[in-house]
């Protein structure tokens, strides 16, 4: 079959006019159409024929005019419906490509531009307007179609287009773009490095946003993601320095790594309720992020997900989380409150390293694997509460630099010594907490809060002489907290209270 095709190409070449033979190389496609695959001539003005031996010329292949360095003008017949990627990429002298009048027009755009008169321009003359209208017959804007066009400031995409190829508008001077409802896919890097882009409208048929689609769009302050989107690639909004608020719709179940990497001004994010995977580096260097609700279906917090989120003050980790990646919260210096649920089985290296705002933390007995330096250099960490027997991950570097920390264990748990992973240990006992500035409840009854491990039972005993003690209330701390109220307190001139475990 390859030999037959080669013979056919040679036969066609022999029957082609001599002048054209000297200029073009071409192949015959399986549907009896011609593809121009190369240009060998040296003329400055060239017209591509509409047919060869009665077979229509329909395609200009990728890189076909890569070596046409002397070309200044080229005319393309209306039989051509597809121009390949980088077809004219190295034609440094080319100022215009004219399409012959006719009833048909291009179905795709790869490496070329259109103006309002449907004339293709490759090299933009200085002083020309940067606004272009793509013809309504175009259905696909191919890879690198408008890449690195440093005069392109605006473009109108018609409703006929369904695909924006890879890096199709990357590194251009676009400042606004409307993606029509006909588009279903935004390719990788489609608007990457469009540093002047301020406003994007995404149509309601887009289902996929490719990796780095808006990478380094540093002036993009906001963007609405439609409910049609189900998939995000990696680093879609990396280094979008001006984005402050964003909502990812519930239609999205997976987000790629580094989604908001380096978004310094990002302070408010709504993640989708059905999110199952939390990628690595997701909020890396998001200095303005103060808090975040992780959806209840998410199972993993990726590596370095919140690295150096210095404004993050609190974090609620849902019971669905099984693993916390390495350095996931490293450098979150103002993180003061975080609860690790008993669904977590693994915590990676240095997960909370440098979290100098943490004062206390509770470690569930579900954790079977913990890396090195997990809580290292937590200079204000004082209390680490363990809910079970001594863990098997006794790594001496877990609490490196935590000079004020003590590990507390529950009565009845086993295996504990005088130290754990380099810090001293002590028995973890229930504590009395006051309510507000006094011990009085809103019902004008004496009371106080109880704080201990979740699931533990605390008995409150009362006495009038500090000798004879009587139990007055038994409390099971379902969430680690309970409240004791004594309706009889006014019946005694003096009454004392103490706690004991059951």
Please tell me the predicted confidence (pLDDT) of residue 154. 78
Backbone angles phi, psi at 472, to 5 degrees: -120, -20
Please tell me the predicted confidence (pLDDT) of residue 19. 53
**pLDDT at residue 460 greater than cutoff 80:** yes
Which residue would you say has higher pLDDT here, 116 or 225? Answer: 225
| Contact present, 148 and 122 (Cβ < 8 Å) | no
What 3-state DSSP class applies to 56? strand
8-12, 403-407, 408-412: range with lowest mean pLDDT:
8-12
Structural element, H or E, at residue 496: strand 496-501
Mean pLDDT for the stretch of residues 281-291: 95
Please state, in angstroms and rounded to a whole number, the distance separating the CA atoms of residues 14 and 336: 80
**pLDDT at residue 31 greater than cutoff 60:** yes
E-assigned strands of 147-250? 154-156, 163-164, 176-179, 185-186, 199-202, 208-209, 231-232, 245-247
Please tell me the predicted confidence (pLDDT) of residue 101. 47
Please tell me the predicted confidence (pLDDT) of residue 22. 58
**pLDDT at residue 315 greater than cutoff 90:** no
- Give first-to-last CA distance, the chain, whole Å: 86
Which residue would you say has higher pLDDT here, 159 or 120? Answer: 159
Place of tokens 């190409």: 9
Please tell me the predicted confidence (pLDDT) of residue 49. 83
Please state, in angstroms and rounded to a whole number, the distance separating the CA atoms of residues 302 and 280: 4
The reported pTM is 0.76
Mean pLDDT for the stretch of residues 460-478: 91
β-strand pairing of 45-47 with 73-76: parallel
Q: Which residues contact 276 (CB under 8 A, 6 or more apart)?
A: 253, 254, 297, 298, 299
| Full set of structural domains in the chain with CATH | 1-104 (3.80.10.10), 431-501 (2.60.40)
Give the CA distances from residue 280 to residues 83, 255, 302, in Å, rounded to whole numbers and listed in that order: 39, 10, 4
Structural element, H or E, at residue 85: none
The pLDDT tens digits of the residues spanning 99-114 come to 654 433 444 454 554 4
Backbone angles phi, psi at 411, to 5 degrees: -60, 140
Please state, in angstroms and rounded to a whole number, the distance separating the CA atoms of residues 432 and 383: 16
Which residue would you say has higher pLDDT here, 306 or 9? Answer: 306
Q: Please provide the average confidence, as pLDDT, over all residues in the chain.
A: 82
**pLDDT at residue 148 greater than cutoff 80:** no
119-123, 141-145, 288-292, 328-332: range with lowest mean pLDDT:
119-123
The pLDDT tens digits of the residues spanning 151-185 come to 667 788 888 888 898 998 898 888 889 999 999 99
Q: Which residues contact 49 (CB under 8 A, 6 or more apart)?
A: 20, 57, 77
Which residue would you say has higher pLDDT here, 416 or 44? Answer: 416
Which residue would you say has higher pLDDT here, 43 or 322? Answer: 322
Share of the chain above pLDDT 90, in %: 49
């Amino acid at each position: 079959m390859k030999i037959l095709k080669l013979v056919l190409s040679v036969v066609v070449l022999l029957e082609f006019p001599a002048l054209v033979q000297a200029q073009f190389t071409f192949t015959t496609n399986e549907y009896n159409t011609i593809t121009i695959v190369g240009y060998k001539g040296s003329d400055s003005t060239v017209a591509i024929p509409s047919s060869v031996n009665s077979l229509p010329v329909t395609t200009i292949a990728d890189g076909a005019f890569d070596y046409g360095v002397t070309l200044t003008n080229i005319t393309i017949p209306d039989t051509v419906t597809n121009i390949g990627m980088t077809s004219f990429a190295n034609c440094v002298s080319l100022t215009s490509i004219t399409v012959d009048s006719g009833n048909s027009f291009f179905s795709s755009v790869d490496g070329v531009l259109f103006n309002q008169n449907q004339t293709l321009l490759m090299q933009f003359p200085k002083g020309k307007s940067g606004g272009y209208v793509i013809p309504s017959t175009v259905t696909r804007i191919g890879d690198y179609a408008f890449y690195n066009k440093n005069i392109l400031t605006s473009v109108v995409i018609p409703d006929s287009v369904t695909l924006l190829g890879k890096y199709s508008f990357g590194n251009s001077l676009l400042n606004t773009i409307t993606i029509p409802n006909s588009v279903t896919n935004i390719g990788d890097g489609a608007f990457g490095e469009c540093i002047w882009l301020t406003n994007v409208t995404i149509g309601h048929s887009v289902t996929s946003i490719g990796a780095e689609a808006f990478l380094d769009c540093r002036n993009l302050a906001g963007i609405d993601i439609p409910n049609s989107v189900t998939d995000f690639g990696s680093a879609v909004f990396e280094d979008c320095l001006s984005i402050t608020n964003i909502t990812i719709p519930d239609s999205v179940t997976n987000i790629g790594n580094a989604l908001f990497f380096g978004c310094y001004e990002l302070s408010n994010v709504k993640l989708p309720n059905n999110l199952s995977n939390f990628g690595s580096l997701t909020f890396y260097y998001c200095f303005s992020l103060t808090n975040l609700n992780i959806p209840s279906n998410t199972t993993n917090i990726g590596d370095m997900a919140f690295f150096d989120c210095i404004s993050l003050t609190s974090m609620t980790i849902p019971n669905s989380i099984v693993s916390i990646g390495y350095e996931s919260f490293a450098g979150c210096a103002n993180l003061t409150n975080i609860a690790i649920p008993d669904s977590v089985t693994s915590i990676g290296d240095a997960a909370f390293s440098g979290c100098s705002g943490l004062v206390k933390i509770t470690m569930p007995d579900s954790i079977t694997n913990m890396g090195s330096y997990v809580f290292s250099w937590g200079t204000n960490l004082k209390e680490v509460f363990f809910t079970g027997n001594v863990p098997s991950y006794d790594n001496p570097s877990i609490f490196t630099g935590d000079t004020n920390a003590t590990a507390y264990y529950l009565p009845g748990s086993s295996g504990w010594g005088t130290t754990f992973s380099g810090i001293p240990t002590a028995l973890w006992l229930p504590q009395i907490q006051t309510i507000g500035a006094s011990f009085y409840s809103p019902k004008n009854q004496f009371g106080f809060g109880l704080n201990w491990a979740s699931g533990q039972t605390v008995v409150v005993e009362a006495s009038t002489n500090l000798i004879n003690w009587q139990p007055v209330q038994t409390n099971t701390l379902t969430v680690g907290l309970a409240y004791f109220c004594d309706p009889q307190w006014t019946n005694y001139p003096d009454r004392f209270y103490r706690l004991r475990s059951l």
